[in-house]
Amino acid sequence: MSAALPLRLNNSPLSPTTHFMNHLLSIEQLSAREIQSLLESAAYLKRQRGRDGTQLAGQTWALIFTKSSTRTRVSFEVGIRELGGFPMFLSKNDIQLGRGEPIKDTARVLGRMVHGAIIRTFAQQDVVEFSEFSGIPTINALTDDEHPCQILADLLTIQEKLGGWENRKIAFIGDGFSNMTRSWMWAAKHLGFELAVASPVSCQPPADFLTELDAPNVTITADPVAAATGAHVINTDVWLSMGQEGQQEKELEFADYQVESGLLSNAAPDHIVLHCLPAYRGKEISEEVLELHANTIFQQAENRLHAQKAILVALAKSR
Ligand code: CP
Ligand code: NVA
């Protein structure tokens, strides 16, 4: 945990660093202090749940989604309401964006009407462009590059279940260069924990990404047993991310990468299993393991709400 004592602003603990955050576009761009402050705020808001907040009073936040979602949409809509604001869900098919209106024009229109935007889409650049042209706080709710809201919820879950990540080994078994793994690798870079990624060679991060990451605490292997051995957290995700549904040949490469009881026998005795969900039982995770670790996995899903409320509070203060 951060040594810095959090300031209390409007009944929520936020460090000065968090106070000046304008957007939440990636884990890559966050500092360790911002991550720690968001997690402290999330834990506080979780304890306070049921006492309605006013941090977003009078504000409308748009959710612009061009991919499917259960957890992200519901947790943001509930979180915005619990903070006193009004969520406006805008599916791509319902707005002119879906008929080719440019992102920058959509951004300039919404920036004059709503107070913040939460975007789930394919290209990271679209979220960056929206943030630049709208002039309002913008949150990445998943792109092909990153899933920062999920990683904050995952870190909160690790704090709750294991007391933190110091001297812990975290393993990720699956697609080594998905939005989830990329966000995990940046989190490891910032926070310094040991991260072992096991992935088929064809799905491993390219050398130029690893050079840019420059994190000796992140190791990449094709051997799932090597990654799982001694790990305190075993993390996985779908083999085919949204937008890759037709790539059956890619899926075939993952036959040896299922998180199942045999693989977990190599992990640390007090290990936990994380899955961002949705899960495909019998593929990236066995039915048995998912149900055995359901308590943690659905706590992880609930923590999306608390982590995202912390993001919303931090961004509302930056306006
Ligand atoms: N984990 C996650 O982002 O779930 P959804 O796709 O349901 O939002
Ligand atoms: N990597 C997955 C995450 C889903 C929450 C995807 O992009 O589909």
- Is any atom of ligand 1 closer than 6 Å to the C-beta of 69? yes
Chosen domain end from 127, 145, 163 = 145
Q: How far apart are CA 187 and CA 277, in angstroms?
A: 19
Q: Closest residue (by CA) to atom 7 of ligand 2? A: 241
Residues 154 and 119 grouped into a single domain: no
Q: Mark which of 111, 145, 179 sits at the end of a domain.
A: 145
For the chain, what percent of residues have pLDDT higher than 90? 91
Q: Is 150 in the pocket of ligand 1 (CB under 6 A)?
A: yes
Q: Domain check: are 181 and 216 in the same one?
A: yes
- When divided into structural domains, the chain yields a total of 2
Catalytic hit among 36, 150, 159, 204 = 150
Mark whether 126 and 154 lie in a shared domain.
no
Among residues 145, 171, 197, the one where a domain terminates is 145
Query: Is pLDDT at 75 greater than 90 in this prediction?
Result: yes
With respect to residue 3, please indicate whether it lies within any of the assigned structural domains.
no
Q: Which amino acid is at 289?
A: V
Q: Note whether residue 171 is domain-resident.
A: yes
Task: Report the DSSP beta bridge partners of residue 83.
Answer: none
CA-to-CA distance for 234 and 198, rounded, in angstroms? 11
Asked if residue 141 and residue 166 are part of one domain, the reply reads no
Atom 3 (ligand 1) nearest CA: 72
pTM metric for this prediction: 0.94
Residue 297 lies in a domain: yes
pLDDT of res. 261: 98
Question: Domain holding 233: CATH number?
Answer: 3.40.50.1370
Shared domain for 141 and 211, answered yes or no, is: no
Q: Are 172 and 213 part of one and the same domain?
A: yes
- Is residue 2's pLDDT more than 60? no
The best mutation among 74, 124, 179, 245 to test binding of ligand 2, ranked by most ligand atoms within 8 Å of the C-beta, falls on: 179
Same domain assignment for residues 62 and 184: no
| pLDDT (tens digit per residue) in 80-90 | 999 999 999 99
Q: What is the mean pLDDT of residues 97-103?
A: 95
Domain limits for position 132: 48-145
For residues 123 and 159, membership in a common domain is answered with no
Can you tell me the mean pLDDT for 275-287? 98
Residue 17: what pLDDT? 42
Does a structural domain hold residue 306?
no
The closest-lying atom of ligand 1 relative to the alpha carbon of residue 70 is: 7
CB of 70 closer than 6 angstroms to any ligand 1 atom = yes
- Centroid of ligand 1 to alpha carbon of 121 (angstroms): 12
Query: Is residue 32 domain-resident?
Result: no
Q: Find the mean pLDDT for residues 189-193.
A: 98
Are 297 and 160 in a shared domain?
yes
**Whether residue 192 is found in the same domain as residue 73:** no
Q: pLDDT band for position 317 (50/70/90)?
A: confident
Q: What is d(CA 10, CA 33) in angstroms, rounded to the nearest whole number?
A: 20
Q: Binning pLDDT at 50, 70 and 90, where does residue 20 land? A: low
Q: Is residue 213 part of a domain?
A: yes
Say if residue 133 is in the same domain as residue 162. no
Domain membership of residue 8 (yes or no) is: no
Task: Determine the pLDDT at residue 319.
Answer: 66
Catalytic site includes residue 248: no
Q: What average pLDDT does this structure show over 157-174?
A: 98
Element (H, E) at 169: strand 169-173
Run of H or E including 12? strand 12-14
Q: Classify residue 97: in a domain, yes or no.
A: yes
Q: Of 32, 270, 17, which Cα lies nearest the Cα of 155?
A: 32
Same domain, 168 and 278: yes
Name the token pair of 300.
Answer: 């992880």
Q: Is the pLDDT of residue 13 over 60?
A: no
**Ligand 1 contact, 277 CB (< 6 A):** yes
